[in-house]
Amino acid sequence: MEDRAAPDEHAVPATVRLSDIDLSFTLADRHPALARLDSLLEEYVFHSRMILERWGPNEALILGLGTLAILLGAWDLGIGEIASGGDYNRVGLFGEQGGFLHVADFSLMLALLSLIAWLGLFATLWTRFPLMRENLVYMSVATLAVQLGYVASHSTATNFPLGASGSDWGGVGIGNLVLVFLSMVVVHRAVIETRDIHVQERHAHPDPRVVQKAWRDHSLNAWSMSLGAWMIFLNLSSWAGSHAVAPRPPIETDMTAFIALYVFFGILSVAMWTHVLWYPQFMLGAAGDRIQSVRAREVAGEVVPVKNDRRQGSCPICGVETAAIRHEDSSIEVPCNECDGGGAPGTACSECEAILPTRITCRDCGSSTTVISHFTRSEAW
């Protein structure tokens, strides 16, 4: 998409970076396999700090509109329209036999106000997160698909999923296929690949340690978890809402608990939706990068940088290959002089704990040079 981020507080560099976050405790101390959880916890701590620091009246308005839209649409106390099931002989929106215009006056008013609140929520999200506008549309379509899918499944199996046949799962299945495709294949891929291009173009540096830190600062693991949580909350909310209105009159079962679940998970899904749209805007807004997949950029005729492949080091003096290796993630590995192990220069060997060399002596010309210089040799001129 062509929209650029408007200058606002999202364009102000973060006072604290993700790589600066240190946990007061680490799960890796209990078991090395839990180190990845430590990394994820650091991201959540960083996200929480940035939310407390950066979110303000606009984000409060977004959450308020979403909560109001859900509550107004689910409100039935003192009306009884939802609890009674209404007149199931009337269907449709307009006309003499239309159902929408024949509901209780107060219920109709709340429904219209809920619709206005939903439109206000979409407009606020559109204005607040310009880099994510295209993805906002995709996620809105996915939301509608899931909700319609649960309505379709409940129309043939009112106690869905209990007692549902294979064909009754069609609505939910199709709705979730649309959700997974638009959320994971389109939105997730676009954000991830835009992040990759952003780091490769704007954070290129001859020192791989600087590049490695940039990749860490732009990690999207916690964001991906939020996207997954939004998909789960959306499903739970859609199921509970459809389940609450599915019974045929006369309704003898109290469905208040399902309405409460619809409201609870609906509000959570709005909060997750806001976070999913906000974080890429926060991370990439200052650079003004468009949120697009690599394929979309290629179709648009843009030059997409090629990600670094595994590279063998070479002597900066004579050009002969050396034992140093730079991996795809820009980390450098050198062999140990004492055993068959290896690791990053200057760190302890993975096998014998000896300190790994930071300089390499060329076997051909005998020059002793720093490891980093084996990957930063400029071309002849």
Which DSSP string do the residues of 332-351 spell out, in sequence order? Answer: EEEE-SSSS-EESTTSB-TT
pLDDT at 93: 65
Q: Are 256 and 168 in contact (CB under 8 A)?
A: no
pLDDT given for residue 192 in this prediction: 92
Q: What is the pLDDT of residue 278?
A: 95
Q: How far apart are CA 320 and CA 71, in angstroms?
A: 70
Q: What is the value of pTM for the model shown?
A: 0.77
Q: Please state, in angstroms and rounded to a whole number, the distance separating the CA atoms of residues 281 and 11.
A: 9
In this structure, are residues 307 and 198 in contact, taking their beta carbons and an 8 Å threshold? no
Give average pLDDT by consecutive 10-residue segment, the chain, 381 residues.
41 68 79 81 92 94 96 85 69 64 80 94 95 94 96 90 89 96 94 86 74 86 96 96 85 85 96 96 73 68 59 80 76 82 80 82 82 61 27
The pLDDT, as a whole number, for residue 303 is 53
- The pLDDT of residue 234 is 97
pLDDT at 6: 42
